[in-house]
Amino acid sequence: METNTETVVKNPTAIGFDKEVFKKNVLDNLKSLFRKTMETASQQEIFQAVAFEVKDLIIDRWLATQKAYKEQDAKYVYYLSMEFLMGRALGNNLINLCCYDEVAEVLEELGLDINVIEDQEPDAALGNGGLGRLAACFIESLSTLNYPVYGCGIRYKYGMFKQEIHDGYQVEVPDNWLENGNPFEIKRPEYTQTVKFGGYVRIEWDAERQRNRFIHDGYQAVNAVPYDIPVVGYGNNVVNVLRIWDAQPIQEFNLASFDKGDYLQAVEQENLAKNIVDVLYPNDNHYSGKELRLKQQYFFVSASVQQAIRKYKETHSDLHKLPEKVCFQLNDTHPTVTVPELMRILLDEEGMEWDEAWDITTKCCAYTNHTIMAEALEKWPVDLFMRLLPRIYQIVQEINRRFLIEVEERYPNQYNKIRSMAILYEGQVRMANMAIVAGFSVNGVARLHTEILEKRELRDFYEMMPEKFNNKTNGITQRRFLLHGNPLLASWVTEKIGTDKWITDLPLIKGLEAYADDTKAQQEFMDIKYKNKLRLAKYIKEHNHIDVDPNSIYDVQVKRLHEYKRQLLNILHVMYLYNQMKANPQMDFYPTTFIFGAKAAAGYKRAKETIKLINSVADVVNNDPDIRGRIKVVFIENYRVSNAEIIFAASDVSEQISTASKEASGTGNMKFMLNGAVTLGTMDGANVEIVEEVGAENAFIFGMSSEEVMAYEANGGYHPEEIYRNDPDIHRILDQLVDGTFSHGDREMFREIYNSFLAPSYGRADQYFILKDFRSYAEARERVNKAYQDKARWAKMAMLNTANSGKFTSDRTIEEYVRDIWHLKKVQVTL
């Protein structure tokens, strides 16, 4: 088939973009910011000068957007999230302003490479992984789709730690991302809010209104100062706001204070403000009940809710109509104190009755569940909660009391219902239960995940209030993960399907299907993949000093390190392959590079041991002359959004091998698919829907189903030692964990991993069914290796993955949230 060149639409050029003006202004910025010229400035300084100029392009659109919202009295969604994993801003802002190529040309004329300038920007890593990156994709899609949103979060001083690998071990290095300032942010001290902690509640009789008044006294207060970061929509002049809060002491420490009480109070308030926003908790899918974490939660929630109410009241007098203009979307349970905080404002500050306040609150709050991992469930000890938030705790008690009356009415004498659904239970505040009781919507993040919530995890809630439950399968933004991350493929897609409209309408990418059997197109597609593999090889050479063969299969597992994600299954299989190849040097095997990237939570021992194991296996395999480079293992240090873009573009095989039922959705799986990698995975999370879209013949599926896993779990697990006894290959690799093969003779280094399969010191043996799924995984990997050797078949499969990724745009996800939950209206912005 021939390319339809006439109808190729070039990217709309940014209105008013003038290359010469831009160039002059960048040079002026260098002078005014740093007193430098192009000859004397560092690359970092040039980045700053360029970024400030880009901010200038954004500002008019930003003003125009907020003006349009105001004129139309728009409804906003407040996306409340402890995490926004934004990555770098410069490249994506240029893309969405539709002047990336123009700016690249300007820089080239100045003798600069835009990639090098982009590399100067630190990632904004205010998140752990999937949950935080989803929030970032969502606010970008909201902007692109002309919907009003405030992303509300925390301006952590230190984001996700930087990972270094020393002698195969992970070392965490603080991420001082604000070191050189953030050229895109704007401080908004005029919107400062006060947040109160601790103290006690006094009750006063209000004779006039014939009711009690609750007065919070003896507290410590801290100022929340917002910084706004622009979120630019694609080619539509929309600029929404990510508002992240910094903590400042209320009054500067006052040395002149003589009064001892004041003095101590001033010191304490200063200390409180000092550490609240210091650091992001680096836990993914894990709850650690630290007081500081609860402080962070209430801090940003209280500031955000107060601000939302204040803004509403600027133009409206009737708070009963708040739900017409405001929706608070809770990104997991972390911001659930939104519920009692909104109640507090309506009751104590606005003087409403309980029923009125509850009616409003329950129409404003909606909750997204992201995980069923038991260790991620937030359950705050009551004593801690009530000490830190005494008034909020009273309100939680009342919400719980009234809810339990309802439960009792609906299910008389069924104590099991109270046990599963109570908000306050056994000395704990159960945040998920509060979010479900108070929210008008509860959603899971992939079809299977939502089904598991309804049928199992939240069964009692689903039975009592089925109308609240709904599914919103996750998505990703193609602007970052194709247009920016893989420019070669992006241009090729545009050329092939004859339009660049896929940039805002991803299902159009289905047009590629017409080329699936076209030999020339297959060749072009694989040529682009090859170039991207070269780019990644160069990155790996520069960062890891390892040579990888761009002709080998790139088999990639990049994601947070967690036992349920089973990086261990992957590396055990590499050990198995290594043994096979040693025993049979002539075996039929297409050279493969096994690429890993993963951060382990700082306190997660097993995860850190797994990183060490991967690096130890890499050391042995990569340096064994018998292997002749046919198996390579690479651990990419400091996996993060910016290098992820390079990795996805270069991947052939996408490892999505979680124990079925454990991965709520996954979003990396979608980024690989979009970039033409083929999924090797279990029927878990959104993999199920990926296979449905692309067809089972274009993916490699293995392992137990979620039903099987859950059935075993209900019976207390299975017996891995039987497999160990009966399968000599598995026996061998487990023994190699403790015979020194991969540890320079050290028999203790991987003992705990070994024990986890056969003799765990606590918990079930092989909790995540690694041995149970091993044979099926090995067989699937063999099918992958064979399939790759048929170049035409592989090219077709890969292309069909890209072609069928349309469903997984976050634009689709957002339209579903808008339709079913938020009910926002599109706002047009003209300059």
Residue ranges binding ligand KOT (CB under 6 A): 128, 130-131, 134, 283-285, 332, 370-371, 376, 445, 474, 663-667, 685
Closest CA to 821 of 331, 327, 359, 335: 327
* Burial class of 341 by CB neighbour count within 10 A (0 to 12, 13 to 18, 19+): buried
* Burial class of 124 by CB neighbour count within 10 A (0 to 12, 13 to 18, 19+): buried
Query: Least distance in Å: CB of 374 to ligand KOT?
Result: 12
Is residue 565 annotated as a catalytic residue, yes or no?
yes
How many residues would you count in the chain?
831
Query: Least distance in Å: CB of 663 to ligand KOT?
Result: 5
Helical spans, DSSP H, in 441-518: 447-452, 459-464, 478, 487-497
Catalytic residue, from 336, 592, 667, 682: name it: 667
Closest CA to 770 of 505, 557, 533, 570: 570
Q: Which is nearer to ligand KOT, 312 or 672 (CB)?
A: 672
Closest CA to 50 of 97, 94, 13: 94
Catalytic residue, from 157, 243, 480, 565: name it: 565
Is residue 370 annotated as a catalytic residue, yes or no?
yes
Residue 71 φ/ψ region, left for φ over 0, alpha for ψ in the -120 to 50 degree band, beta for the rest:
alpha
Catalytic residue, from 484, 560, 573, 632: name it: 560
Is residue 560 annotated as a catalytic residue, yes or no?
yes
Q: Which is nearer to ligand KOT, 375 or 707 (CB)?
A: 375
Query: Least distance in Å: CB of 428 to ligand KOT?
Result: 17
Element (H, E) at 645: helix 641-650
Closest CA to 256 of 246, 266, 247: 266
Catalytic residue, from 479, 671, 781, 807: name it: 671
Residue 453 is given by DSSP the state: I
Whose structure tokens read 């979003």?
Answer: 667
Whose structure tokens read 């934004």?
Answer: 86
- DSSP bridge partners of 239: 232
Instruction: For Cα atoms 298, 161, 49, give the angle at the middle one, nearest 5 degrees.
Output: 95
* Residue nearest ligand KOT (C-beta atom): 130
Query: Least distance in Å: CB of 603 to ligand KOT?
Result: 13
Query: Least distance in Å: CB of 685 to ligand KOT?
Result: 5
Instruction: For Cα atoms 362, 367, 371, give the angle at the middle one, nearest 5 degrees.
Output: 155
Which residues 6+ apart lie within 8 Å of 485 measured at CB? Answer: 644, 645, 646, 648, 649, 675
Q: Which is nearer to ligand KOT, 92 or 128 (CB)?
A: 128
Cα 293 → chain centroid:
18
Query: Least distance in Å: CB of 391 to ligand KOT?
Result: 26
Which residues 6+ apart lie within 8 Å of 139 measured at CB? Answer: 79, 84, 149, 151, 231, 240, 242
Helical spans, DSSP H, in 411-518: 415-421, 431-438, 447-452, 459-464, 478, 487-497
| Contact present, 223 and 247 (Cβ < 8 Å) | yes
Q: Which is nearer to ligand KOT, 136 or 497 (CB)?
A: 136
Catalytic residue, from 344, 370, 640, 796: name it: 370
Query: Least distance in Å: CB of 293 to ligand KOT?
Result: 10
Query: Least distance in Å: CB of 244 to ligand KOT?
Result: 17
Query: Least distance in Å: CB of 714 to ligand KOT?
Result: 22
Q: Which is nearer to ligand KOT, 445 or 633 (CB)?
A: 445
Closest CA to 536 of 654, 650, 676, 622: 650
Q: Which is nearer to ligand KOT, 794 or 808 (CB)?
A: 808
Q: Which is nearer to ligand KOT, 193 or 661 (CB)?
A: 661
Q: Which is nearer to ligand KOT, 140 or 524 (CB)?
A: 140
Q: Which is nearer to ligand KOT, 284 or 457 (CB)?
A: 284
Is residue 559 annotated as a catalytic residue, yes or no?
yes
Catalytic residue, from 216, 344, 559, 796: name it: 559
The set of catalytic residues is 370, 559-560, 565, 667, 671
